A = this chain, B = another copy of it.
Amino acid sequence: MRKVAESTVRRLSLYLRFLEEFDARGVATVSSGELASRGGTTSAQVRKDLSFFGSFGKRGMGYAVPEMVAKLREILGLGRRWPVALLGAGKIGSALIEHHGFRERGFDIVAVFDNDPRKVGTAWNGLTVQDEARLEAELGRAPVEIAILAVPAEAAQPLADRLAAAGVTAILNVAPVQLVVPPEVEVKTVSLAMELEGLSFALTNR
């Protein structure tokens, strides 16, 4: 299993959500076409996406929903729980940590860091905000592979460097900056402001 496109992985996440819905409703099997219409693609795309990982369907029948859910969770690496460090106890970080969706999908925020002395030491959903200076010490004690960077743009790159040096191998970056990291570190950047600009572009050029 090599060279799976990012777009494929994103669609797999979507398929998993639909399948979980179907599963909850007791639907036993689902066809690539049904999956496609809910996910805004085509049945051929669904089948291609899945074909990277094996062949799970029954011809003439479709896919068995519970098996498919299990398989997709396994493929996406959700057959385990992931401890996650959160950097930045500001507005965005605050919304994230109280957001239950992460925990439900296997991501546990196990540490929160901030550099604002007024925030350090305060309680946060059962966690205590720790001084950013203690980042390396804490990650040495309780390592995590995934970190969420929810800090101001200027602070993002230096922190990314420290995270990479401390052994973090995946960063979810919530700042409108392009992070430069060593090749072994995976980065995904999500910027609502940039998405809004995409919408502004679409509305302007039509």
Question: A residues bordering B, Cβ < 8 Å?
Answer: 1, 4, 6, 9-10, 12-14, 16-17, 38-40, 75-78, 82, 84, 91-92, 94-96, 98-99, 101-102, 105-107, 145-146, 148, 169-172, 174, 176-178, 180, 186, 188, 190-205
Contact = CB atoms under 8 A, between A and B. Distances in A.
Contact of A170 (B96, B148, B170, B203): B203
Contacts of A176: 13-14, 17, 101
A191 B188 CA distance: 11
Contacts of A98: 91
In the complex this chain forms, how many copies of it are found?
2
Contacts of A188: 195, 198-199
A69 to B, nearest CB: 14
B186 A199 contact: yes
Given A1-B205, A38-B178, A198 B10 contact: yes
26 contacts: A1-B205, A4-B205, A9-B197, A9-B201, A10-B194, A10-B198, A13-B176, A14-B194, A77-B204, A78-B200, A82-B200, A91-B95, A91-B99, A102-B196, A105-B197, A106-B200, A107-B193, A107-B200, A146-B196, A146-B199, A169-B203, A170-B199, A170-B200, A170-B203, A186-B202, A188-B195
